[in-house]
Structure formats: structure tokens, C-alpha cells
Structure 1
Amino acid sequence: MPRSKPDTVSAVLARGRLGIPSVVFFVIAAAAPLTVIAGGATTGWSVTGVAGIPVAYLVVAAVLALFAVGYVAMSRRIVNAGAFYTYVTRGFGRPAGVAAAMVALVAYNAMQIGLYGGFGAVLAQFLDDRYGWNVTWWLCALLAWVVVAILGLLRIDLNGKVLAVMLLAECAVALVFDAVMVAHPADGSVSFDTLAPSHLFTAGIGAALVTAITGFVGFEGTVVFSEETRDPRRTVARATYIAVGVTGLLYGLSAWAMSVATGPDKIVQAATEDGTDLIFNLVSPHLGSSVVTIGRVLFITSLFAALLSFHHTVARYLFALGRERVLPAVLGRTSRRTGAPKAGSITQSALAVAVLIGYAIANADPIVHLFFWVTVTGGLGVLVLMTATSAAVIGFFARLNHNEGAWRALVAPLIATVALLAILGVTVNEFDTLLGVDPDSPLRWLFPAAYAAAAVVGVIWALILRRWAQHTYEAIGLGADSAAAPLRTPDVLRQPA
């Protein structure tokens, strides 16, 4: 076997570099709180026409908290950067696991690359409004791409510090804005109408729940960084619950505060007219222009932080699949100097720049065609993965002797699976509304069909490996132990294929 290059070492990520705060910063940064508040909530109101977006965020947070019960219970037994891929493998078998891996690669790449469209367009508009600089969106996007590509090759803890500064600043500004909006309610009275549970039974609430759940995409990434934490079994559990709790409360509070400032009966119209400027327009009469400008800058850095976090997620999925030889083994190499998944990071960067160049040449709309369409599709893929993983938790514990109790091993995952299936069904059914296309547009089925195709490719590839590369097939789901797979397969993976 050829020797690795001097600066790389296979199969091992840098261990012990992340504590609970760092993992929380990574996953909440991926959720991009200020982006969700300024852009996601306003889009939800304008697209669905439902005033109850704040209560939708809280309901989704509750569903994901249930999902997290089984998710973190499984994380105590499995430490693998493959996350959803590994969990589905352990719950349903290797073909299903490889199918999940292919879906994950499409979904997380879609989330990461789609964000470049939003970042480029928002930064270009800001530079034009503030300084009169006429800069194209793709030049701004490429600037972000260069920085992300470099940071992706550096130490993971350094990246955590960068994200920490950005995340703390944007959360602080969001809370200041919330306080200002609540202190200046429409008509002089604070209303809690948009938090009323009755909104959950109104027409269009399904689309509202779908809009809300896209704001949480990224929290599940705690497991992706598990191999690089100091205490995986403790860190992943706490970071997951903290991420769900913080984002859920922040989204619900901020969306409610905006409805207080406009009045519950006027929030849909205001969001439709002002779009992402709504929150800034609501606070600007009460704050200095410099504070509002800081908020707009942090809106841009929020997008960048999400770009960086999703880049790391994709790189680690590629690393996990390369280490287990499901994909080319070169992807399973890490940098000896930094411990980063070098080949996976470079591969993700190459794919991203190729897509950006294609969109620039096609002169496509960066907001609609790249940011909105592609990230919404990425969110759909992550929803598919969460649903499958929640069910896989049940399958995993069903054939394992354990002391988790019925709540963690069965009840909570079962309730979460049913709830996620319902949201997934509504998502697919109303995907034309989410994309903003006609009901008979082929795009409403083309994007979801991409995941079906990816899953089929994954199953076929797994069956090929079972037939022609048995040792590789047996390594699926083993993580760092995959190198020893030809010698012995752990009992936990001795299951029907």
C-alpha cells in the first residue's frame, strides 16, 4: 500500500480540541440566527400569510427537542463524524446508511453553496448603499469562498473562535432589537396574539412549520464534530439541547417582537412590503444609525458564519465516507499539522466554486435561484435525514441490550418520527409554495426527486460493495475502527443487510 504524504495522516481527526461552547458555536452559527430572524421569519410571513410564525418556531423547537432525546442517547454509544449516515446504518443496515450518506452530501452541499448567493447579493447591496461601490454579487461570493476555503484547512478550534465572536455579536444585537421593538409596540399595547396556539389550526400552518424548521438546520451537526471533542458523550448531548433551546427561544422571541412592533394584524403586510429590511426599519427610529448599520453588518457576517459551519460539516461527511472507503480513500485523510479533513475540505471548496462560476456565467438571480431555491432544497434533505434518523434510533435500540429506558429508546423517538413525517409530507405537498413557483411547475417535483435519486444511487452502490468489495462493505459505519474491518466486524453491526 502506498505511503501517505508527509503532511497527512489517515483515519483520525484532531481529538480533544472542542468543548461544549465551541460545538454550540458551530451548530448555532450554521443555523444563522440573525439571518433567520431578519430573512427567514419575514419570508415565512410573506409566503404563507400566516401571522403565527412565532408559535410555529416554538412548536418546531419542541419537536426537535423530542428528536434530540433519542439522537443524543445514540450519540453516547456511537462517536462518528458520519452522524446521520452512521446512525441510519446502525439502525436500518448498510444499504440504508449509504443511501442516507448520499442524501446528506446533496443536502449539506446545497445548504452551503446556496448561502453564497445570499451572502454575495446582500454584501453587494450593502456596499452599494453605504459606499456607492458597484460590485457584482459573484465577486463578493468569491471573496467569501476564498476565506472559507482557507479557514477550512486550519485548526478546528481556531474556526470555533471565529464563529464565537460572530455568533455572540449577532445574538446580542438581535436581543437589543427585540427589546426596542417590545418597548415600542404598535398602538401602545403589547400583544401576544401571534403566540396563540390557535394559529396551529389555521390554513397554511403547514407551510409555516416548514419555514420554521429550515431555521434550525445545523443544530443536528453536534454529532459531526463528536470525534474532535474532549468528552464526546457529554459534549454532544449538552450542545444539542443548548442549540435547540437557544435557537428556538431566540427565533420565537424575535418573531414575536416584530409582530408587537407592527401589530399582529399588520405583520404579514409589513413583512411582504419590507422583506429582510423589516427588523431594521422597525428599530431605526429608536436607535442611532450606527447601531442599525452594525446590525446590517452582522446580518452579513451571520451568512458568512453559516457558510463556514456548513463547509466543515460537508468536509467531515466526506472524511467519514472516505475513511470507510465508501468514497475514494483520499477523502479520509487529515492534515498532520491541523487535524482538519484536508481532502474533504478541498473537495467541497472545489465543488462550491464550480457552482458559483456556473451561476455567474448563466447570469442567474443569486437570491431566488441560488440562495432561496437551493437552500430550501437543502433544508428538505436535512428534514428527510432527521426523519430517517429518528426512526433509526428506534431500530437501533430495539436489538440492543441497554438501560436507556422506554422514553429515550422508544417513546420520544416515535413521537418525533411521526411529527417529522407529518412536516415532511406537508413540505413535499407545498413545495411549490415554498419555491414560489406555479403548482404545475416541474421544479416542485424536480428538487425533491433529486433526493430520491441520491438515495437510490446509495443503495445500488452499497449492494455493489457487498458483491465486489466485501471488506469495504463491512467497514461501513465503523468510523475510526474501519481499518480493522477485514479482520472483525463488531457485534453491533452484525445485522441483516
Structure 2
Amino acid sequence: MSETRLTTGPDKPGQATRSPSEANLSGNLGVVQLLFTILAFNGPLTVVVGIVPIVIGYGNGLGAPVAYVAAALVVAMFAAGFTKMARHVENPGGFYSFVALGLGRRAGLGASFLALVCYYLVLIASYAFIGITAESLVRDTLHGPSIPWWVWALLAQLVVGVLGYFRLDVSAKFLMVLMAGEALIIVAYDAVVVARGGSGGLTASFLKSSNITSGSLGLALLFAVLCMAGFEATVIFRQEVRAPERTIPRAAYGFIATVAVLFGITAWAVTQALGDANAVAATATDPVGSLMGTVGTYLGAVGLDLVSVLLATSILAALVSAHNVLSRYLFGLAADGILPRPIARAHRRHKSPHRASVTVSVVAFAGLLPFMIFDDTPATLYAKLSGAFGYSFVLLLACTGLAIPVYLNRIRPAGVTVWHRVIAPVLALAGLVITLYLATDNIELLMGAGTSVTVILVVIVYGSFVAGFAVASVLRHAKPDVYQRIGRQ
């Protein structure tokens, strides 16, 4: 046999017991590798090209950098309790385990189903996105043949599937190379804009209160919080990092700081590149086109072509990260007995969730296949599904934000102060609830769809939580041993 399986011990329901021949997932990721892995999830260059102009044009205009700082403060306060609670959550089940511990097994399973939908939506959306991006890159930038988008999507699935089969360290090294390229081009863009003094001289207009509160500050905060996607991976990969008690908090706060600084500075650089007088109108009229126009102006034709290439690799990196997260969710739910147990077998040599990874590849292909056959507008598919992902992510974050103070105040573990268990979590929860309200209030804009499609997507999002809650309720009476294992705590 070349694989191992998690089993349930009769002595301690809810915990995994193993024979000497069995093993959990394992890896050797350090802080930097984990940081790059979770940064890959939101695709820094993808955010710069696709989200930063929206925050400027549709959000709070010249005050956009402040929105990223505000979002970072909300998530940092969330992290204050999150990292303390993480020390007591040995199961690498992500937000699923946190909600189960704080709000009970039924809510926990509801959160797990919500997370499955959340990450599945972004996976399908990103495959569509890389398809159209690669098609345009080869045809328009490299002047090659016009190859259908779905061919590139299938090629990306092959690459992602192979990487997902092996130990996480393999994916981490691959992602570090891609992330280095993204980071360098973003920093180069910012540096050249500053060196050349922008369009009409550098200004600090983002510090003016009138600019901070201009336009829609709430919408800006919403999109800025969505740029924190990937945060959950700090605990999803718990079994695959060195010294998780130290690595997870450092990677979590490092991620928050990096996102705030990188996107905040770049948002300011974009306004300077376009000029204070034109930035808001230009990004509102053509978000992506206006941004790419400044890239051509400040980095030249070579820089513009390089950004086009790195945008495709950015999406590929995000796909690898999302695939790995979803694989570990399936692995955890199978280990808990919710999904078929064979999925929870770790590869003996690679110590990877190889069966869960193959399952994700198959399900992703099945989800994308109808659109390959019947839908020739993958751009609209990406917009709708990525918006639904964003909404479900905020909802999942809010559920976890509620579970954290409930758990910490019930257990009151040593070394956890009133700041960690009350003040910071409550402030974070308030910010997340406001963000969820804003997401709901701007739901059609977020999802880029009409009323009927939006309603369907919202029903899927909330329905997934209700379905998980209902399944747990049934298991409580029909299979109490499985019910006790929910969250493996």
C-alpha cells in the first residue's frame, strides 16, 4: 500500500487516531513560503489590474489607499483573536473548525459547506479567467494562433492537478517564483511613477478627509476586504508548516501588512499616474483599460507585454492556491466521516491529500465542461462567479468572527487577554458585519449580474450553509458517532 488513512478511535469521539503505519498530511513550509502561498490566492497582479481601479473609480476615489488601511485594521483585529484561538485548534480545518468550536457542530458543518461552495466558485471562475487571458495573450500580445479559451483552461487544470497531487512544498516553490515576478513588476510600476513625478507632480491627496469620505467609502472597504481573501490558508495548512504556533501568526500578520502596503501604495501610484483631476473619472469609465494605459506610459511596450504575461501566471498561481485549499477541505471532511473516507487518505511518500486533489480536479472539470460546450462568454462567467465567491467569503469571515469571541470567552485560555477575546474580536466583527451589509446592499454590482442570476447565486450561497446545518442535524440522530467527529474536536 502507498497511502494512509485516518480512522476514528472509540475512546475519544471527535479525534483522529492512527496506527503506526498511518500518517497525517505533513510538510516543511516556513513563514516566507506560507506567506507566498496565501498571497498567491488573491493574485496580487490580478488585484492591481482588476480591483484597484474599481476601488478608485467606484469607491472613494483619491482616498482609495485609506480603504486598504481600514480593511487591514479590520482583519488585523480579527487576527488578534484568530491567532490565539488557532493554538487550540489542532485540526487543520480552517474556518470550519473555528465555527464548530465556537458555535457548535451544526453551525460548523454549515460553515464547511459554505466554504466548499465559496472556493469551488472561485476555482471555476479563475479557470474561465485564465482561459480568456491566455487566449488574448497568445493572439494579441505574442501574435500567435487564436486558440479557444477552454483549451487554455484545460491546460491550466492539468498543471494545477499535477502540482496538487504532490507535497505542498512543491507548490510553494512554484508559487514563490511566480509571486516574485508579480511583486517585482508591481514595485517597478510604483517606483517609476514616483520617480517620474506622476502625471502632474506627486500629491498626498489621499490624506484629505474630503477625499477619504468621497464617493462610496463603503464600497471601497468592501472590495478592499475582498483583497484579503486567502487569509484562511494560514490555518488550512497547519499540518504542513514548521512550528505552526510561530509560523501561523507571523504569516497571518505578514499577509495583512503586505496586502495593506502593496495595494495601498499601488492605489496611490495609480491616482498619481493618471493625475488627481482625471483618476476617478478614468477608472470609473474603463477600470482595466485606464490602468493598463498607465502601465504602457510608465513601463513602456515591453513592460506592458510583461504585465500581460505575468497576469496569466498570476491567475495560474491563484488557481494552484485555491485548488490546494479546497483539497484540504475535502480531506478534512472525509476524515470527519462527512464525505467518503477514502478521500482522506494521505499519500505515504508525498504526505499530500492526493485523492482529495484528484477529486477537486474531476469536480472542477465537471463544473467547467457545460460552459466549454455551450457558453462562449467566459468573461461573464468569471464576473458572476467571482462576485459570488466574494460574497460567500465575507459571510464565512463574519461567521468565524462571531465564533472566535464566543469560544475564547467560554474557554478563557491562559495568555489570552481581554483585548484578544473581547475588544479586538468585537471591533472586527462589527467591521465584518458592516462589510457584509455593504456586500448585500451592492450585491448586483458585486456579482455583475441581473436580478434573477443574482438571486440564484445568493440562494446557492445561503442554501449551502443551511444544507450543512441540516445534514448535521440529521447526523446527530442517525449517526451520532459521525456527528461527534464534526470539526474533529
Regarding TM over 0.5, the answer is yes
Show the counterpart of 1:82.
93
Show the counterpart of 1:137.
149
Shift of 1:126: 0.9
Alpha-carbon distance in structure 2 between the residues aligned to 1:174 and 1:210: 22
Alpha-carbon distance in structure 2 between the residues aligned to 1:43 and 1:139: 30
RMSD: 1.8
Alpha-carbon distance in structure 2 between the residues aligned to 1:358 and 1:444: 20
Q: What amino acid is aligned across from residue 4 of structure 2 in structure 1?
A: V
Show the counterpart of 1:118.
129
Match of 1:425 among 433, 437, 452: 437
Match of 2:383 among 366, 372, 381: 372
Shift of 1:180: 1.1
Structure 1 unaligned segments of length 5 or more: list them.
1-5, 479-492
Q: What amino acid is aligned across from residue 265 of structure 1 in structure 2?
A: A
Show the counterpart of 2:487.
477
Show the counterpart of 1:150.
162
Alpha-carbon distance in structure 1 between the residues aligned to 2:234 and 2:152: 29
Alpha-carbon distance in structure 2 between the residues aligned to 1:263 and 1:376: 29
Q: Is 2:36 aligned against 1:25?
A: yes
Show the counterpart of 1:482.
none
**Preserved CA contact (<8 Å) 1:166 1:301:** yes
Alpha-carbon distance in structure 1 between the residues aligned to 2:130 and 2:58: 21
**Preserved CA contact (<8 Å) 1:207 1:434:** no
Alpha-carbon distance in structure 1 between the residues aligned to 2:298 and 2:392: 41
- Cα 1:398/1:49, change in 2 over 3 Å: closer
Show the counterpart of 2:4.
9
What secondary structure is seen at the aligned counterpart in 1 of 2:418? Answer: helix
Deviations 1:269-312 (A, max 9, x none): 32245533433421333434333322221111111100000000
Shift of 1:249: 0.8
Query: Could you tell me the TM-score, scaled by structure 2's length?
Result: 0.92
Between 1:395-404 and 1:98-107, the stretch displaced more is 395-404
Q: Is 2:466 aligned against 1:456?
A: yes
Shift of 1:337: 2.1
**Preserved CA contact (<8 Å) 2:40 2:321:** yes
Shift of 1:437: 4.1
Match of 1:465 among 475, 481, 488: 475
- Cα 1:79/1:195, change in 2 over 3 Å: farther
Show the counterpart of 2:12.
none
Alpha-carbon distance in structure 2 between the residues aligned to 1:263 and 1:365: 34
Alpha-carbon distance in structure 2 between the residues aligned to 1:236 and 1:180: 34
Percent pairwise identity: 31
Show the counterpart of 1:248.
260
Between 1:141-150 and 1:267-276, the stretch displaced more is 267-276
Query: Could you tell me the TM-score, scaled by structure 1's length?
Result: 0.91
Alpha-carbon distance in structure 2 between the residues aligned to 1:299 and 1:356: 21
Deviations 1:316-356 (A, max 9, x none): 00101100102221221111121111221111111111122
Q: What amino acid is aligned across from residue 456 of structure 1 in structure 2?
A: V
Q: How many residues align?
A: 471
Q: What amino acid is aligned across from residue 474 of structure 1 in structure 2?
A: Q
Deviations 1:386-406 (A, max 9, x none): 111111011111211422110
Show the counterpart of 2:16.
none
Q: Is 2:274 aligned against 1:262?
A: yes
Q: Is 2:344 aligned against 1:332?
A: yes
Show the counterpart of 1:159.
171
- Cα 1:217/1:470, change in 2 over 3 Å: same
Between 1:81-90 and 1:394-403, the stretch displaced more is 394-403
What secondary structure is seen at the aligned counterpart in 2 of 1:87? Answer: helix
What secondary structure is seen at the aligned counterpart in 1 of 2:165? Answer: coil
Alpha-carbon distance in structure 1 between the residues aligned to 2:199 and 2:420: 47
Deviations 1:348-387 (A, max 9, x none): 1111111221111122421222x21111111211111111
Structure 2 unaligned segments of length 5 or more: list them.
7-22
**Preserved CA contact (<8 Å) 2:234 2:248:** yes
Matches within 5 A, 1:371-450: 371-403=382-414, 404-437=416-449, 441-450=451-460
Alpha-carbon distance in structure 2 between the residues aligned to 1:50 and 1:362: 39
Match of 2:290 among 278, 285, 294: 278
Q: What amino acid is aligned across from residue 337 of structure 2 in structure 1?
A: R
Q: What amino acid is aligned across from residue 401 of structure 2 in structure 1?
A: S
What secondary structure is seen at the aligned counterpart in 1 of 2:411? Answer: coil
Match of 1:37 among 45, 48, 58: 48
Deviations 1:436-477 (A, max 9, x none): 345xx1233322221211111111110111101111111111
Q: Is 2:151 aligned against 1:102?
A: no
Deviations 1:166-207 (A, max 9, x none): 101111110000111223345531122235444453342222
Between 1:212-221 and 1:423-432, the stretch displaced more is 212-221
Q: Is 2:238 aligned against 1:226?
A: yes
**Preserved CA contact (<8 Å) 1:44 1:53:** yes
What secondary structure is seen at the aligned counterpart in 2 of 1:285? Answer: helix
Shift of 1:423: 0.6
**Preserved CA contact (<8 Å) 1:79 1:232:** no
**Preserved CA contact (<8 Å) 1:390 1:417:** yes
